[in-house]
Amino acid sequence: MDIVLETADAFLFDHIYAKLFPVPPAVTSLLQATGLSNELLLSLSKNLSLSYIPSEPYEYTFVSAPPAAYLSTIPRTNILRQSISLFLITWIFGALLYFLFASLSYFLIFDKRTMDHPKYLKNQMRMEIQQALSSLPLMSLYTVPWFVAEIHGYSHMYWDPNQYGKAYLFLQYPLFIAFTDFGIYLIHRGLHHPIAYKRLHKPHHKWIVPTPFASHAFHPMDGYLQSLPYHIFPFVLPLHKLSYLILFTFINIWTILIHDGEYMTNNPAVNGAACHTVHHLYFNYNYGQFTTLWDRIGGSYRTPEKSLFDQQTKMSKATWKKQASEMEKIVKEVEKEDNRQYLHDDAVEEKKEK
């Protein structure tokens, strides 16, 4: 995250902190008069703790520091400033990624006929977005200590591509997927324990037939716990800094794709949208994130029905009726009672009355 933080500092936060917490006018005048020479800045940094020192806490310098970087009494090396900046970056960037890719998925991929499913909720998409937006700030806050530890050099993240060899630049991707898939399987399955499910995971299972906007609609602690393997990996194994940003973006997109209801692959090894649809419908199956490996080993794998891969049968009333009937039995076992308000309940009641 040091690449992101340094970029955000250079283009945004340096100017904000210089405005909110300026150095004394006399120092500002001196800096401006001397043209902000590196020698003077480094000298002032030692005596007044005002300036940015590239080697602390950043191992590498990616973006040149603007003059504003030296004009705040709270320097870039201040851990509180770093924490606040990282929180804002994670929250805002996470929300932008969520809205951008969930919206693209909704408008370009998601089949709007899904809203006719008997288990689609009243105002579901609005509630999904509200749940996500209310949870993202806390999820971001919980994540900050990991990012602070990273930029202070406690992880195995690196920049020099030769440090672990060219082959590892490719090997790190399957290692990351394998490590995090196993970790998320364990955490996700644990969240289905009755105690954890009731207190943490139930909000995400409110969506029986999710839209792409359900992807981040978690209880904040639930979302954070399931993200832990992503943050733990670079503290266990090396990970290139650019690869980390690529994977961070990929994870967010993948999470949206497995909630979009478009079953593009029936590969038995991939825990894609079809497998995750089964999880939302029937609760106790397919806990994995990327592969079906650990569900198969753990006895929790359920093969998606063939009807899900046919554009006509997956949206047929017969398929939906079968799904709803089985779901109603399972939800009584898991939640005891179903207090969801379904969009089409009123229409069903009207038919019964007639």
Dump pLDDT digits (tens) for 9-24: 999 999 999 899 987 7
Cis geometry, peptide bond prior to residue 57 (ω within 30 degrees of 0)? yes
pLDDT value at 37 more than 70: no
pLDDT value at 197 more than 60: yes
Cβ neighbours for 250, distance < 8 A, ≥ 6 positions apart: none
pLDDT at 56: 38
**How many CB atoms neighbour CB 332 within 10 A?**
11
User: Which residues make beta-bridge pairs with 157?
Assistant: 239
pLDDT at 53: 41
- 224, 143 contact by CB (below 8 A): yes
Pick from 204, 183, 178, 181: nearest CA to 192: 204
pLDDT value at 40 more than 80: no
pLDDT at 33: 60
pLDDT in tens, 315-342: 999 999 999 999 999 999 999 999 999 9
